[in-house]
Every structure is written in structure tokens, then in C-alpha cells.
């Protein structure tokens, strides 16, 4: 008697084992994107743009054509690809150091131009790859390698809320913030990612899904505490929800 599988690895990801630290949710967010691309049956028609950060090796993990952009430039690279290959689905996968710091201009202008691309923005409030330095998204009071006494608004400024900020732009079509801290929220995150790719399918324009993500290594806490920290500390500063949805106006 053969057993019916209850869970299978998505075809949207390659067989490569990821290099992420235990308790890091980058891998889970990858899986959600992979599942959406597979369920939409668009793996052959998708081009992903990996950024610089811990997710730089995303080009090894997504089972689609991938390119790798210089730090922060993924939305500009995605713009070029989409304009040359308008029938392809084009997405970027970027951390908060990549998108909110060095790449803030590219993100703002791609949104303002209403490029028909999808940005997956993994916000873990820190530079993971380079050793846990402060990011523009780090919380007030958050201890990082460059703010050992905690981020002080008077010295380092206050956190940038990317979703809220980009939602003010007319060019942005769909902006939602979700979280990867438990199963229910992962399911919601998957729905949001699906919606973003559906927007792109109809030629709807720019979408960005911000996913609150863990970095137990950079935060200096264990995997379970990191999931709790999203709930207790990140969500109050980065509330979940839809910040822009102009798909209704388009119909």
C-alpha cells in the first residue's frame, strides 16, 4: 500500500539546502514565493532578481531564472528585465538593508513609475549578512553591532516604515505588510504574495509585500525568542495590513 504524501517540497524551490541560520525565516518566505509561482504555474515564465544580503544566494534556491543585482539595485534591474520581457513575471527579493538603506532610491522610483514588478521585502530590522549592524528599520532601543547601547532617535533617527511610505505614491498599486512569525501569519503572507503576482499578471503595476522576518543571529536571541520578538516588538512599530490597493479602481 502506498502512502499518500501530506506535504511535499514545492517545485518552486530547487533541491539546494539553504545556508540560513537555524530560526531564520528567509527560507520560509522563499518557500511561500516558490509555492505561489508553482500554484500559478508560472515557474517557466518568471525571472527573479536576487539582492545583496543573507538572501544573496536566492538565485540558488528559487527554481526560476534568476539574476543577481548589485546592492540595492534590484528594482532597477527588475525594471530593465520587465521592460524588455513584458510577458515574464519579474520579482525582486530584498532585505531591509538592501531596500531601505542603500537601495531606497531604486525602490521609491520603481514604485513611483508604477513598474509592473513584484517586490518581496524581508524586513528583519538589521543587517544580517555583515554582522548585525543597524538598519534604517531597526527599532528605537534596539541593540545592534553599531548601536551597542540601543538605537537612539536623537542620534540615529527613527525607523523608516517602507510600506506606509511607498503607499503614498500614486504609482504603487498593491502594498501589504505581513509576518512570518507563525503558521497563521505565514498563510496570510502567502495570500498577499499571491495577490501581488496576480496584480502583475493583469498588468496592474507595482506591488510590494513586506514580510516581517527573524534574524536570531543578528538579534542575539534564540529561534523561539525571535518569533516572539516579532510579535512583541516589531508588529507594534510595523503594523500588519494592506496599505495600498488600487486594483479596485482599475476594474
Identify which of residues 129 and 140 has a Cβ nearer to ligand TPP in the complex. Answer: 129
HSE at residue 132, side-chain half, CA atoms within 13 A, is: 15
Q: Comparing C-alpha atoms, which of 238, 74, 155 is closest to residue 144?
A: 155
The H or E element spanning position 65 is strand 65-68
21 binds, among ligand SF4, ligand TPP, none (CB under 5 to 8 A by kind): ligand SF4
Q: At closest approach, how far in Å is the CB of 191 from ligand SF4?
A: 24
CA 84/CA 210 separation, integer angstroms: 26
Interaction residues for ligand SF4, span 207-246 (CB under 6 A): 215-218
Residue 97 makes contact with ligand SF4 by CB under 6 A: no
CA 10/CA 116 separation, integer angstroms: 25
Q: At closest approach, how far in Å is the CB of 222 from ligand SF4?
A: 11
Residue 55 makes contact with ligand TPP by CB under 6 A: yes
Q: For the chain, how far is it from start to end, CA to CA, in angstroms?
A: 51
Residue 125 makes contact with ligand SF4 by CB under 6 A: no
- Residue 46 bridge partners (DSSP): 89
DSSP state of 221: S
Is 90 within 8 Å of 65 (Cβ atoms)? Answer: no
Q: Binding pattern to ligand SF4, positions 49-88, x when CB under 6 A?
A: -----x----------------------------------
Residue 75 makes contact with ligand TPP by CB under 6 A: no
Q: At closest approach, how far in Å is the CB of 126 from ligand SF4?
A: 7
CA 92/CA 64 separation, integer angstroms: 12
216 binds, among ligand SF4, ligand TPP, none (CB under 5 to 8 A by kind): ligand SF4
Determine the length of the chain: 251
According to DSSP H, which parts of 8-88 are helical? 26-39, 58-61, 74-84
Identify which of residues 162 and 215 has a Cβ nearer to ligand TPP in the complex. Answer: 215
Please give the size of the binding site for ligand SF4, defined by CB under 6 A.
12
Q: At closest approach, how far in Å is the CB of 14 from ligand TPP?
A: 19
Please give the size of the binding site for ligand TPP, defined by CB under 6 A.
18
Cell (9 digits) for 99: 531596500
Binding residues for ligand SF4, rule: CB under 6 A, are 20-21, 24, 26, 54, 124, 128-129, 215-218
Amino acid at each position: 500500500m502506498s502512502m499518500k504524501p501530506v506535504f511535499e517540497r514545492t517545485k518552486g524551490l530547487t533541491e539546494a539546502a539553504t545556508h540560513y541560520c537555524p530560526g531564520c525565516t528567509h527560507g520560509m518566505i522563499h518557500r511561500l514565493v516558490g509555492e505561489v509561482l508553482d500554484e500559478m504555474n508560472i515557474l517557466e515564465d518568471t525571472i527573479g532578481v536576487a539582492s545583496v544580503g543573507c538572501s544573496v544566494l536566492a538565485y540558488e534556491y528559487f527554481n526560476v531564472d534568476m539574476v543577481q543585482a548589485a546592492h540595492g539595485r534590484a528594482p532597477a534591474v527588475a525594471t530593465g528585465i520587465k521592460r524588455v520581457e513584458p510577458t515574464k513575471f519579474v520579482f525582486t527579493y530584498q532585505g531591509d538593508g538592501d531596500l531601505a538603506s542603500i537601495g531606497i532610491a531604486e525602490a521609491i522610483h520603481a514604485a513611483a513609475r508604477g513598474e509592473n514588478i513584484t517586490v518581496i521585502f524581508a524586513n528583519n530590522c538589521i543587517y544580517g549578512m555583515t554582522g548585525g549592524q543597524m538598519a534604517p528599520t531597526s527599532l528605537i532601543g534596539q541593540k545592534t553591532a553599531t548601536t551597542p547601547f540601543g538605537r537612539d532617535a536623537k542620534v540615529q533617527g527613527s525607523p523608516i516604515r517602507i510600506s506606509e511610505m511607498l503607499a503614498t505614491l500614486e504609482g504603487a498599486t498593491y502594498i501589504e505588510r505581513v509576518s512570518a512569525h507563525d503558521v497563521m501569519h505565514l498563510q496570510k503572507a502567502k495570500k498577499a504574495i499571491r495577490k501581488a503576482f496576480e496584480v502583475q499578471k493583469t498588468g496592474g503595476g507595482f506591488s510590494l509585500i513586506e514580510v516581517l522576518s527573524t534574524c536570531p543571529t543578528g538579534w542575539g536571541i534564540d529561534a523561539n525568542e525571535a518569533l516572539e520578538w516579532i510579535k512583541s516588538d516589531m508588529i507594534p512599530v510595523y503594523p500588519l495590513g494592506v496599505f495600498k490597493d488600487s486594483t479596485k479602481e482599475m476594474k
